[in-house]
Amino acid sequence: MKGKLVRAEGHLANIIPIHLDASFFFERAVRSLDRNHVDKALKYFRKAVEYEPENPVNHCNMAGILSEKGDYEASNAVLAHVLDVVDPSMTECYFYMANNYANMDRFEEAEKALVTYLEEDPQGQFMTEAEEMMELLYYELDRPAKLNRIKSRKGVVEHDQARELLEEGKFAQAAELLEGMSPDYPDYLAARNNLALAYYYMGLFPKARETIAEVLEQEPGNLHALCNLAIFHQNENRADQVLLLIKKLRVIMPFQQEQVYKLATTMGILGQHDSAYVHFRRLLKDEETAADPALAHYAAVAAYNTERYDVAERLWRHVSKLDPGSEVSKFYLSGLDAVRQGELEPEKLSYHYHLPFDEQFRQWENYGSGIPEEMKNDPLIRSSFFWALRHGDRATKLQVIHALAMIGDYEVQQALQSFIQEPEEDQDLIAAAEAVLNGLHMQEQDQRKSHDQQPVAGAAVKPFQKVQSSTEQAKSETTSHWQAVVERALQMTEAKAELQQEMERIWTDYVSRVHPEVPGTKQIEGWAAGLEYLAAKIHSRPVTYQSIAERYGISASTVSKYARQIVRVCGSIPPTV
């Protein structure tokens, strides 16, 4: 008996005991999935949940299998349990739920879950997939999602919008947006730097300097902030502070393209033209920036200011090839020739890719053409106007007030309103500014009345006949530009007969809503590409931003920008009648 027990014990000693825990069932589930045994995998994941009910990963795996089986309701019930009970920080569950709702064609609920994911998830693990789903929902629901922020991008959406406003010269609107970001993103230094720039362009130097001081307190070596501060000090004639910053900046050799550009322009503004020349030449050797006419002009200015006249001439001739319609290179080449002939004394040139301030006024007055549309939206020109309005002499301020009357948008009205509240300003100038403001307000009222009396867009006649018939003769050139957008889209569309009516209908709706405001003529390609993209999507054509962008010779982000702008204004793209 004793021997039998020994043999039994020896036999038992060769058996490896099974530990029935969550890991065991997890491994069995994975093995079943590898063999495509979905039902077995689900059973094993259920057992893993039983052994470790506090582990959210087990629940998510079980939800994933249920989704694979097409049981989307049960999958979402599991995911809701994770968020409500197990681990509310598992924000990716909202993304999984959005997928399930989309598979059930419950697009409103899918949108709600997806927006929650984007606004709450700090990592952005499924950012690419979420953006693709957002585009799907946009077309299914026929409207953009009500998305306020993307948490994982830490204010990138708002900051990108603000940068676009700065690039368009809409400094007051950019400042409002960036000010709203500050409490939520106190560590977002790029946004703070751009807020300082917005204040600077508006002539609000104390606020600009205060904002930069906050950035440097958090990051003393921030290059953009140091550059901005140096320029601010120069504007306030703080020579000692400027020299200290120049010493710091001269020894910096950044490698990022954006930082090189910032340092180059800053050194040029500070009068360090030799240093500016070195950095601009570095940028011209980069394939990504070599074809930028503005950059070539800046390098030419730096060369001229350091008496490298032969180099300056070559660069301005290069500008003429890159931007053949521009008067800038012709003007400076003529001036360079006059200096070489001894007809003009050489003077330091400023780093702006437009004609000098006095020359612009002279041309506008001589030809009576007013300010060209594209120049109204040029942030450099607009900022020079705002700066001169606050810091120019009396004659220049008067010229600027008359010039701003020709622009007359929200930014201009804000600037003039601030100007007339300055207690130390000349009363004649304040009266001139008030007259311009009153004229702009009356013009707005007339435009609103005219707009209210316009026929409803979308009638059976040709759409652009409607727009043109209600537009004053003085605005016929603007209307022609609107027509040029749809004509460009029709010209570029591969399936012209199919999409022509759709594009005209969408564009008419958009024009009727934004009239009388118009974009600059340089934006025709972007508007046309965005218009074609929307029309193609409505007709379920397999297009992407990239495929449209390649045909128009622009970036995919530009196509997306203009398509979304049309949708923002129209609220939704109405279905084909």
> Among residues of the chain, what percentage have pLDDT more than 90?
16
State the total domains in the chain: 4
Residue ending a domain, choose from 319, 337, 353: 353
pTM over 0.85: no
pLDDT digit string (tens) for 138-149? 778 777 666 655
Looking at the structure, do residues 47 and 112 belong to the same domain, yes or no?
Answer: yes
Reduced to 3 states, what is the DSSP secondary structure of residue 554?
coil
Looking at the structure, do residues 206 and 321 belong to the same domain, yes or no?
Answer: yes
How many C-beta neighbours within 10 Å does residue 258 have?
11
The pLDDT of residue 320 is above 80: yes
Residue bearing the bigger pLDDT, 382 or 266: 266
Q: What is the pLDDT of residue 303?
A: 95
Residue ending a domain, choose from 110, 138, 166: 138
**Residue 142 host element (H or E):** none
Residue bearing the bigger pLDDT, 15 or 527: 527
CATH assignment of the domain containing 508: 1.10.472.10
pLDDT category at 267 given cuts 50, 70, 90 is very high
Amino acid identity of 255?
F
Residue ending a domain, choose from 324, 353, 382: 353
Give the residue-averaged pLDDT of 444-468: 42
Residue 168 lies in a domain: no
Q: How far is residue 339's CA from residue 158's CA, in Å, rounded to a whole number?
A: 47
Q: How far is residue 323's CA from residue 315's CA, in Å, rounded to a whole number?
A: 12
Residue 166 lies in a domain: no
> Among residues of the chain, what percentage have pLDDT more than 70?
73
**Range with top average pLDDT, 31-35, 276-280, 345-349, 351-355:** 276-280
Residue 177 lies in a domain: no
SS3 per residue for 350-372: CCCCCCCHHHHHHHHHHHCCCCC
CATH assignment of the domain containing 85: 1.25.40.10
Contact of 211 with 196, CB cutoff 8 Å: yes
Q: How far is residue 190's CA from residue 225's CA, in Å, rounded to a whole number?
A: 9
Q: What is the pLDDT of residue 402?
A: 77
Residue 278 lies in a domain: yes
Looking at the structure, do residues 369 and 346 belong to the same domain, yes or no?
Answer: no
Q: What is the pLDDT of residue 274?
A: 94
Count of H-run helices and E-run strands, the chain: 31, 0
Looking at the structure, do residues 254 and 372 belong to the same domain, yes or no?
Answer: no
Residue 218 lies in a domain: yes
Residue 14 lies in a domain: no
The pLDDT of residue 314 is above 90: yes
Looking at the structure, do residues 375 and 349 belong to the same domain, yes or no?
Answer: no
Q: What is the pLDDT of residue 5?
A: 35
Looking at the structure, do residues 246 and 306 belong to the same domain, yes or no?
Answer: yes
pLDDT category at 470 given cuts 50, 70, 90 is very low
Looking at the structure, do residues 341 and 386 belong to the same domain, yes or no?
Answer: no
Closest CA to 235 of 381, 391, 350, 356: 391
Q: How far is residue 145's CA from residue 127's CA, in Å, rounded to a whole number?
A: 15
Looking at the structure, do residues 403 and 551 belong to the same domain, yes or no?
Answer: no
Looking at the structure, do residues 262 and 335 belong to the same domain, yes or no?
Answer: yes
Alpha helices in 202-350 (DSSP H): 205-218, 223-235, 239-250, 257-269, 273-284, 293-305, 309-322, 328-340
Q: How far is CA 134 from CA 98, 115, 148, 559, in A?
A: 10, 9, 14, 16
Q: What is the pLDDT of residue 281?
A: 93
Query: 276 is in which domain, residue-wise?
Result: 182-353
Q: Which residues, 6+ apart, have CB-to-CB distance to 564 below 8 Å?
A: 144, 530
pLDDT digit string (tens) for 95-106? 999 999 988 989
How does the average pLDDT of the chain come out, rounded? 76
Residue 447 lies in a domain: no
Looking at the structure, do residues 388 and 519 belong to the same domain, yes or no?
Answer: no
Looking at the structure, do residues 125 and 82 belong to the same domain, yes or no?
Answer: yes
Looking at the structure, do residues 326 and 191 belong to the same domain, yes or no?
Answer: yes
Residue 1 lies in a domain: no
pLDDT digit string (tens) for 503-557? 877 887 777 666 655 554 456 778 888 888 888 877 777 777 778 877 777 777 7
Give the residue-averaged pLDDT of 474-481: 43
Residue bearing the bigger pLDDT, 556 or 262: 262
